[in-house]
Structure 1
């Protein structure tokens, strides 16, 4: 059920009977010469709407711009500062709680959002407003991702390329896959991004001239479909589990 497509009386019926919402979040940022800047939010919305279609749970409109300043050197990248992002997502979530939602799944497809979504979830939990969890598709199927790709990326690599080939293939510049591989960083291990236990870079361009990692030529739409189906199964299971919990067991215990 996609919120933006329904009239308020129909939504009122949903809120009377269910208390879970699926919120897709991503980014609008460079993903190399071969993928669209909307890669992350397209992936997030794809998973969220698939899970909503399978389960009947509510899917909200997508939050398309995230914490992406580390890609700012590449034309077109958009971002918001972390405090603004956290406050916006928290306000958005409290809006859902006003309508009766007390469980939220943040379907996230951008690594830069992770820590901030978890912080928002902590705030909402601490205040007893809602139980909100962050879900990242590749973290739900890590063994499969490693099985399918020799070098999976991370950013703009074959796993994201394969998913966009499956979800929105007309937006992929297949003729640039070799350029993406050869102009980026094929093996992230060779970048020596940590020294003596410290991370020694801030921006994507510090390690990759074209902003991406991995071997993009290893991607196919068939691999993308396999990943999409497997991760969607995991998201459906998460939603079903969360909906079945007693809210009193999810919210903070009383102070002793």
Structure 2
């Protein structure tokens, strides 16, 4: 059920039975020649809708901007400061708490948002102690991706517009994928990228970190289904504790 399509006269009763608020969070940034700028938004929304069906949740309107410092110089990328994102998320969480929600789950589609989500959750832990707050980024995906990938990952953390993320899109939103334009671009990412600020244009011109040509809907389904199963388990375990 999507929050924004409810009306003010009925929402109070719906919150009483749907105590879980799911906030898709994405970004607007370069995703190579075959995926749209809003890929992270599309994925976060799609995952949130599927998750809502299993946890009786309300899906909030997507927060479509994120922290994309690393790709900020690519055409089309729009970035927020971590401080701005934290402030917005805290305000949303506190509003949800006042409205009567007991669980606030942030469904993240963009790795770069991770620091801000974690910090916002910590603030809400102090300001709304009875509100259960989660920040999810495809939990369990690392092992699942290793199970299906045909090429070695370009980085032990990053995945972007590659075999894996393109597979997500082929499974969840195939109409937005142009596989005729998919490319293979496996850059050499320097070791210092993990320990010092490193704009991505220093090692990639495409923003693709892998072989997008190897993406399939089946691979995406395998990983996404595992991630959703893990989110359901974490939400229900916490709710019953």
Structures share fold, TM-score greater than 0.5: yes
In the TM superposition, structure 1's runs of 4+ consecutive aligned residues that sit over 6 Å from their partners are none
How far off is 1:170 after superposition?
2.0
The TM-score normalised by the length of structure 2 is 0.90
Over residues 113-141 of structure 1, what are the superposed CA-to-partner deviations in whole Å (9 max), with x where a residue is unaligned? 1011000000110223423121111x323
Q: Is the 8 A contact 2:82 2:115 kept in 1?
A: no
Over residues 217-241 of structure 1, what are the superposed CA-to-partner deviations in whole Å (9 max), with x where a residue is unaligned? 2211121122222222122222222
Give the structure 2 partner of residue 237 of structure 1: 233
How far off is 1:58 after superposition?
1.5
Report the 3-state secondary structure (helix = DSSP H, G, I; strand = E; otherwise coil) of the residue aligned with 1:107: strand
Give the structure 1 partner of residue 168 of structure 2: 163
Give the structure 2 partner of residue 252 of structure 1: none
Give the structure 2 partner of residue 69 of structure 1: 69
Gaps (5+ residues) in structure 1?
A: 246-256
Indicate whether 1:40 and 2:40 are aligned: yes
Give the structure 1 partner of residue 13 of structure 2: 13
Give the structure 1 partner of residue 152 of structure 2: 151
Give the structure 1 partner of residue 96 of structure 2: 96
Give the structure 1 partner of residue 133 of structure 2: 132
Residues 243 and 202 from structure 1, CA distance in 2 versus in 1: closer, same or farther, beyond 3 angstroms?
A: same
Instruction: State the alpha-carbon separation in 2 of the partners of residues 71 and 225 from structure 1.
Output: 27
Give the structure 1 partner of residue 191 of structure 2: 193
Give the structure 1 partner of residue 210 of structure 2: 214
Instruction: State the alpha-carbon separation in 2 of the partners of residues 174 and 234 from structure 1.
Output: 29
Q: How many residues align?
A: 235
How far off is 1:35 after superposition?
0.9
Q: Over aligned residues, Cα RMSD in angstroms?
A: 1.8
Report the 3-state secondary structure (helix = DSSP H, G, I; strand = E; otherwise coil) of the residue aligned with 1:27: coil
Instruction: State the alpha-carbon separation in 1 of the partners of residues 65 and 190 from structure 2.
Output: 29
Over residues 62-113 of structure 1, what are the superposed CA-to-partner deviations in whole Å (9 max), with x where a residue is unaligned? 1111111321221111111111111011111111011012321111111111
How far off is 1:144 after superposition?
1.2
Report the 3-state secondary structure (helix = DSSP H, G, I; strand = E; otherwise coil) of the residue aligned with 1:205: helix
Residues 127 and 76 from structure 1, CA distance in 2 versus in 1: closer, same or farther, beyond 3 angstroms?
A: same
Report the 3-state secondary structure (helix = DSSP H, G, I; strand = E; otherwise coil) of the residue aligned with 2:9: helix
Q: Is the 8 A contact 2:94 2:128 kept in 1?
A: no
Instruction: State the alpha-carbon separation in 1 of the partners of residues 196 and 124 from structure 2.
Output: 33
